Amino acid sequence: MTTPPYLSPGDKIGIISTAKRTEPHEIEAALTTLKSWGLEPVIGANAFNEYGFLAGTDAQRLADLQQMLDDSAIKAIFFTKGGYGTLRIIDAVDWTGFKQNPKWLVGYSDITLLHSHVHNFGIQTLHGVMLQGYPKSTPESTETIRKALFGESLAYEIPVEPENRAGEMVEGALVGGNLSMLYNIVGSESDSDMTGKILFIEDIDEYLYHYDRMLIALKRAGKFASLKAVIVGGMVDIKESTIPFGMTYQDITLQHFDCPVYFGFPSGHIADNRALILGSTIKITPDTETVKFEFV
C-alpha cells in the first residue's frame, strides 16, 4: 500500500461535506485545532450548502470533492460530517489525479465508502473523527489524527475484554470501518478486499437481528474466509427489537468469525474515537491484561 505524503506545518488541507449538511459553527473548534497544528484549512465552495438532508446537491458535493482531489496544493482532505450522501456521488468521481498524487482522506462512518474505494487503488487512508465531532471527542481522538498525519508512531494498549477470542501475535493490513457501509457496498466497484487482512468494524443504531444479517451477508460473500483477526470498535445502540433476538452483539460476532476477535477498541461513534491507518500494517500482541495494537 502507498502511504500518502505526511503533512508539515504550512500545508493546505481541504474541508468538504460529501454527506449530511453542516453549519459553519459546527466545525469552528476543529478549524482551531487544525490551525494549531500549523495547517491552513481551505473550505470547499459548497461545504455549507443545504439541499434537504444533504450538504448541497449531488453536483455541488461532487464538485468540492473533485476539486480537492485534483488540487496538488491540497495535502489532505477532511470531511465535516457523515450520515449519508457520499454513495450518491462516488461513481462520478474522476480519480486520475488522486492516483498520481495521493493525499490523506480523513473521516469515518459514511466515509468508509471512500476508504474502501481508495484501498482498491493501493492507497492508505485515515479513519478518524469528523470535523463536527471534535468538540465532543477525547483529546486522544484528535491527537492520534495529528500523529498519524505527521508521520509519528501510532500504537494503542487496550484492556482485555472478557468476550475476546484471543490468539497469538499477528500482523496484517488493516481494512474496514462502518459495518453498515461495508455491507452496502458488497459486489460494487468500492467493495473491500479483505483477503488475508485484519478487519475493523464499528456501527451505531442497529437492531441485533440486522447486525447478524449484515455479518452473514458479508460472510456468504466470502469476505471472512481468510481474515487474520477482527477488531471490534464502538457498537453503539445495537439494540433489541420488539421480540428479543436472544444474543448479544458479542455472541453474534463470535459466531461468524473463526479467527481471533478483539472487542472494545476505542474507535467509532464514541467520544474516544482514535485514529486508525487503514491499509497500513497493524501488529496485534495479546497479553493477559492488555492487547497492544501497533502500526508497523
pLDDT of residue 123: 99
CA distances from 135 to 26, 130, 138, 145, 271 (A): 9, 10, 8, 15, 9
Tell me if the pTM is above 0.95. Answer: yes
pLDDT of residue 206: 97
User: Mean pLDDT over residues 116-127, rounded?
Assistant: 98
Tell me how far apart the alpha carbons of residues 222 and 264 are, in angstroms, rounded to a whole number: 25
In three-state secondary structure terms, 54 is strand
202 is a catalytic site residue: yes
Give the residue from 236, 260, 258, 238 showing the smallest Cα distance to 247: 238
Q: Packing angle between helix 208-220 and helix 249-256, nearest 10 degrees?
A: 10
Cell (9 digits) for 190: 468500492
17, 26, 109, 210: the active-site residue: 109
Give the residue from 238, 227, 158, 157 showing the smallest Cα distance to 197: 227
pLDDT grade for 190, boundaries at 50, 70 and 90: very high
269 is a catalytic site residue: yes
Phi, psi of 140 (to 5 degrees): -65, -30
pLDDT of residue 128: 98
Alpha helices in the chain, H assignment, sequence order: 28-36, 58-70, 96-100, 112-119, 139-149, 179-184, 208-220, 249-256
115, 119, 210, 269: the active-site residue: 269
- Say which amino acid occupies 285: T
pLDDT tens, residue by residue, 201-233: 999 999 999 999 999 999 999 999 999 999 999
Domains and CATH numbers, the chain: 12-149 (3.40.50.10740), 155-295 (3.50.30.60)
26, 119, 202, 206: the active-site residue: 202
